[in-house]
Amino acid sequence: MTEPRGGRPGRRTGLLLVLTGGAGWLASFQLTVDDWRLLKDPTYRPPCNISPVVSCGSVMASPEGSVFGFPNMVLGLAAFAAVAVLGLVVLTGGRLSRALWLGLNAGAAAGVVFVHWLIHASLFGLGRLCPYCVVVWAVTIALFWYVTLRNLRHGLIPVPAAGRRPLALVLETHGLLLAAWYGLIAVLVLTRFWPYWSSLL
């Protein structure tokens, strides 16, 4: 993803923020609705409970589903809404301050660390794959990746002279690198649940 030179953010960045924020918010909202229905009726079966492996009900009910003392999806509702609003500001021609871009980057970095912890917990602790959680994983990674690249490109995050050539290479191959990131997670999912996937063949 590239942008015109200068301080004004490009339309693509605004669109990225709107799409990732919107998709993340919708996934968090659906998880919140299902969690609320489960609280009212323990026998309720969320539509994302597809199989013994692909299931979100058990994930929501686990300690990992409420790491901070409240359901994780509540945090997602607030965070992704803020991202979408910032995206709309950018799309309508607004300029975000350096502090806001760096704050967004810091929040995305915290989110991507948290997401990878949840990935590990889901695969190797709970042994379940929540479809809506996978959406949150994907959009959080993309958000962090492209906001970081945007800030590096525009000098909001200083890059030493020795790092400018590697950065240029990363900017040229950003899509391939992101695909490789997703691919590694997909391989982990495939190998972790291979007995189940192979039973479907």
Reported as a single tens digit per residue, the pLDDT across 68-108 is 888 899 999 999 999 999 999 999 988 999 999 999 999 99
Question: What is the per-residue pLDDT across 29-42, written as a single tens digit (0 to 9) for each?
Answer: 999 999 999 888 88
- Our CA angle for 146, 12, 150, nearest 5°, is 35
Q: Which two tokens stand for residue 101?
A: 């871009």
Give 80-84 contacts, CB < 8 A, sequence gap 24+.
80/20, 80/21, 80/22, 80/23, 80/24, 80/25, 80/28, 80/139, 81/21, 81/25, 82/21, 83/17, 83/20, 83/21, 83/24, 83/143, 84/17, 84/18, 84/21, 84/22, 84/25
- What pTM did the predictor assign? 0.91
Domain assignments of the chain as residue spans, ordered by start:
11-199
H or E segment to which residue 143 belongs: helix 131-153
11 pLDDT band, cuts 50/70/90, is confident
Q: Of the given ranges (67-76, 113-122, 174-183), which has the lowest mean pLDDT? A: 67-76
* Span 118-145, pLDDT tens digits: 999 999 999 999 999 999 999 999 999 9
Q: Is the domain defined by 11-199 classed in CATH 1.20.1440.130?
A: yes
